[in-house]
Structure 1
């Protein structure tokens, strides 16, 4: 592997409202087990806490989480609280609301607008915070998000939330939200082989809004992780630089614009340092041409 700088600051910074964050952050979804949510084997708690603390030591100041990130034995928010509280002054914790799970971990009907306060308060309780830095409304198939986003705007006005964002959204949903309150970020699935959100990527760039892609490493594996057979184009670029395919995937995502914030997640300390080193990987124009040529519909 090449000896590139291992720092979350190597890719530069961006603003989430009045909050400055390094462009490489940390996603908490996979902290609770080897597969998403309540499936799979729980990770070693002490090791995960060590990964979180190491991430902050290496400059991560943007952590993405949610109260519905839990398994039978682990809660992402509880792990973050245990590892990082009292929180560093510059640490920005972004959460999501909208989806709902019961105590057994089964998905239930998404939250109504009047139920979002309860979800916000649950995140506050688990994280041990008086207010949440950023709350994203995760759209669950709604054509209009105005009523839900309006409920969150009221909670922002009440001082429970500092900034608002949206997730799994299209430009029309962004316009609906902006008619109610400022939007500081959009979280959508996006990566080399998952580019359905390209229009939103460009819309956010034009408006100076952070675009926060998820599943950038997992690709089609989504919540299950990077279970796919890696594409030859990505392997070729990785071999040329002496780095991992995951690092190539993240470097490509970061290259899509200064407004792009990566949030790779892992419970493995070696994967953590590899992910953070992506900010120092300089892809050549030839590399980008090879990666851009990937047919997203192909296996």
Structure 2
């Protein structure tokens, strides 16, 4: 769970997340089919930060947060998130997720795809009592999610701007679910329409910042994240923003410094990089590239946009907690301090 400094709000959020966990367990428990229960709960049992259900709960604080619909909304969003991970791991041929074997590695692609579809269906059941507006929000997010995945798979055409294309992909693949979390939380709590719109704008910008921060960490701290293997993006041949910015930089200076973009371009031209030596070289070049600093700046820019989106909302511990999430994202991407001499 993201850090919440207000003690009362933090305690309420923990209790609410416990209720979400209970609902997830009861929703996915199928006594007559233990295998279905096992595959449906595989990643949920492995843990996770529960960022998206926390966003649902914090957004609900701008209405009546104790409505039973709020916990249903948070559980539905988490099921949608886990379903997307099942499908992502099939697309990426991932072997692990959250420190455990991925469902496709353990039971095969067909089981993983069907289990992901099952989670989407159960999420729809959870959200159904929230009404037609909630169903529309959920359907819109699904459309964006699938569109983003398809666009990433197909790739940018020869006439497309690679960076603009990439930003549109992550807006659909990642930010759409953040937007759903904040809007659905506000809707479930009966928040005013203006609050819902502000929270939706916040979720969209925060989701983009979240993905860009992940892109930076894949270069700067590739082994520090439990959810993904080291250098996941480079291994899959995904040109994230640090890579695109590094390749865009024209040679400056002299000697090896000037040749870095050209060398990177040659090494990345073949797509996925699996050789350990090549991975180490490309990572080192990216870490020294101005493109990495530019990607960090974009994290800050979108985090600031998310923070500004909160301004129409009334001052409260929940608004402070949402703003703090922006600061936490920026801090994650801060360069490591230089080592102190012994």
Tell me, yes or no, whether TM beats 0.5. no
TM-score normalised by the chain length of structure 2: 0.26
Larger radius of gyration: 2
TM-score normalised by the chain length of structure 1: 0.28
> Larger strand proportion, structure 1 or 2?
1
